[in-house]
Structure 1
Amino acid sequence: MERPYVLHMFTPGSQMSPFDINMAADAGWQVITPYCGVALAGIRGLTQDAIFSRSPKGLARTGIFIGGRDALLAADMLDAARAALVGPFAVSLMADPSGAYTTAAAMVACVEQGLQRQGLVDGLAGRRVVVLGGTGPVGRIAGVLAATAGASVALSSRNGIDAADEAAQDTAKRFGVTLEGISGGDRAAVRSSIADADVILACAAAGVQVVSAEDLALARALRVAADVNAVPPAGVAGVDVMASHAPIAGHVATGIGALAIGNVKYQTQQQLMRRMHEAGSPQVLGHAQAFETARAHLASVQG
C-alpha cells in the first residue's frame, strides 16, 4: 500500500489558517494536521518526530509547513526545522506566515515587471522604494525582497520613526539586507516620505487609505504604486483593486491593485505547495523561493 502524503502544519498561533489548509489540500496533500501554539523551542522535537516515523523513501511523501503571523519568527522556525533533519531522514519544508512570503513576493515581482514595462530594464535596481505599513509581516518581507533586488528601501510606520527604525533594524539584521526606517506618523510625514519615491508599496491594514490623491500629486518621481488592500477605500487613491499596470488618473505612474497581486500570490503559493508534494526530494521553501516562483510565473504568463 502506498503511503499517504502527510503535511504537518506548525503555527505559534492559536489556530492554523483555513486558507493554508485549503491550499494544501488543493495541492494534493492527503493528511493535513495542524499543530497550534508551537514555540520555536518545540520545532526540533516535532520535526524529528515526523522524520523518524518513516523510512527515507516514505519521507518523500511528508512535508512541514510553518505559518503564524510573525515573518521573522517563521524564518527562525524554518531554520530550526532544517537543522533538525538528520542525514537521509529529511522532509520538505515551507514557511509562509499569514501568506506574507507569497504575498510580498507577488507584490514585488509585479512591481518589477511594471518598471520593466516602462522601459526600466534594471527593474528595482537603484530605485527608491517606500513601504507604507512597513512594520507588518507583508511590509517587512516586501522590503527585504525589494532590497535584495537592488532597491533603496524605507519601511514606514504610522506609529512614528521609533517603530519604523526598530522594524527596519530587526528585519535587516535577520535577513542580511539594508533597510531604513521612516516616519508615516502624520500626513506631513507621509508626504515627505513619498516625495522622492520611485515605488510605493502600500501594505497597511485593510480599509485604511495611506496615500490620498493630494498626497500622490506630490510624489513626482513615482513610477509604480502597488496596494494589497482589497477593502474600500483603496490604500492608494486611484489604484483600483483590479488594476494591473493601469495608469493612475492625473499621474504618470501606473498602479497594481490587490486582486491583481492576489492572483499572483495564489499561483505562487499553490506552485510551492505542489513543488513540496511532487519534487520527490526534500525542498526548503521560504521568501526567496517565493520570489523566484512569482517572477517565473509572471514571465510565463507574459511569454
Structure 2
Amino acid sequence: MERPYILHMFTPGAQMSPFDVNMAADAGYQVITPYCGVTLEQVTGLTQDAIFSRGPKGVARTGIFIGGRDVLLAADMLERARAALVPPFQVSLFADPSGSYTTAAALVAATEAALRRHHGLALRGLRVLLLGGTGTVGRIAGVLCAREGATAVLSSHKGLAAAQAAAGQTGARFGVTLEAVSGHTDAERRAAIAEADVVMGVAAAGVQVMTAADRAIAARLRVAADVNAVPPEGLAGVGVMDDGRPLEGTAAVGLGALAIGNVKYQVQHRLLVRMREAKPAVCFGFDDAFAVAREVLAGPAGGAGG
C-alpha cells in the first residue's frame, strides 16, 4: 500500500485559509492537517514531528505549508522549518502567507509583461508606487520590484511614519531599499501618483486608492495594476477583467484583479504540485513564485490567461 501524500499546514493565526486548503486538495494532497496559533518557537518541534514519523520513503510524500498574515514572520518560519530538517528526513516546504507571495509574484510579473508588451520597457529604472503598500501583498511586491531595479515606494493612508516603518522593516529583512510616502491626504497621494511610472493598488478589498481625479494628473503613468476584486475598483477605471486595456485619459494600460488573480491561481497550483512531486525536497518562497509567474505569462496564450 502506497503511503498517502500529507500536507501539514502551519499558521500563527486562529484558522488556516480555506482557499489554501482547497488549493492543497486540488494539487493532490490526500491528508491535509492545519495547525493554528503556531509560534515561531514551535516550528522546529512540529517540523521534526512531521519528518521522523514516516521514514525516508514516507517523508518524500510529506510537505509543510506556512500561512498566516505576516509576511516577515512567514519568512522566518520558513527558515526555521528548513533549519529543522535532518537529512535524509527532508520534506518540501512552501510559504504563502495570506496568499501574498503568489499574489505579489503574479502582480509584478503581469506588470513587467504589460510594460514590455505595450511600452517596450522593463521595470528597471522606473518608479513604482504601491498604494496601500504596507499590507501583505504590497510589501512583497515592493521587494520584487526593487530586486528588478525599480524604485519601489510604499504609500500608506495612515501617513508617512507608517509607510516608513513598513519600508524599513521589509527592506531590512529582504535586503533591498524601499522608499516611503504618505497617502494620508489627497494632495500627498496625488503628488506621489504624479511621479509614478507604475501604480499598483494593493490596499484592502473594497477601498479605492486612486480616483478619476487622481488619474488625471498621472502624466508619467504606463501601467496601473489593481488586485482589488471588490467594488469599487481600487484604481478608478481599471476593470477586474482588464488585461492591458488602455486606461482613459492616460498613456497607461490597466491590469485588473481577476486577470492578475488567474496568474496567482496558476502559480500557487504549480508550486503545490511541484512540492508534492519533488525529489529531492524543495523550499519555495516568493522568489520561486515570481519565477513561476513569469513562466505562466510566457505560456502559449502569452498573457494573464497563459
SS in 1 for 2:231: coil
Aligned equivalent of 1:29? 29
- The whole-number CA distance in structure 2 between the counterparts of 1:232 and 1:103 is 19
Aligned equivalent of 1:104? 104
SS in 1 for 2:298: helix
Question: TM-score under structure 1 normalisation?
Answer: 0.98
SS in 2 for 1:201: strand
Deviations 1:218-260 (A, max 9, x none): 1110000000111111111110011001101121100000000
SS in 1 for 2:192: helix
Aligned equivalent of 1:273? 272
The Cα shift of 1:134 comes to 0.6
Aligned equivalent of 1:288? 287
Which residues in structure 2 correspond to 1:124-273 (within 5 Å)? 124-273=123-272
The Cα shift of 1:54 comes to 1.6
What letter is aligned with 2:234?
A: G
What residue ranges of structure 1 are gaps of 5+ in the alignment?
none
Aligned equivalent of 2:89? 89
Which residues in structure 2 correspond to 1:32-43 (within 5 Å)? 32-43=32-43
Indicate if the aligned counterparts of 2:208 and 2:234 stay in contact, CA closer than 8 A. Answer: yes
What letter is aligned with 1:14?
A: A
Percent identity, aligned pairs only, is: 65
Indicate if the aligned counterparts of 2:218 and 2:250 stay in contact, CA closer than 8 A. Answer: no
Aligned equivalent of 1:51? 51
SS in 1 for 2:165: helix
Q: How many residues align?
A: 302
What residue ranges of structure 2 are gaps of 5+ in the alignment?
none
SS in 2 for 1:56: helix
The Cα shift of 1:280 comes to 2.5
The Cα shift of 1:63 comes to 0.1
Indicate if the aligned counterparts of 2:119 and 2:222 stay in contact, CA closer than 8 A. Answer: no
Aligned equivalent of 1:297? 296
What letter is aligned with 1:62?
A: T
The Cα shift of 1:148 comes to 1.0
- The whole-number CA distance in structure 1 between the counterparts of 2:200 and 2:140 is 11
SS in 2 for 1:89: coil
Indicate if the aligned counterparts of 2:244 and 2:255 stay in contact, CA closer than 8 A. Answer: yes
The Cα shift of 1:118 comes to 2.2
SS in 1 for 2:56: coil
Mean Cα displacement is larger for which, 103-112 or 244-253? 244-253
- The whole-number CA distance in structure 2 between the counterparts of 1:189 and 1:6 is 50
Instruction: Give RMSD over aligned pairs.
Output: 0.9
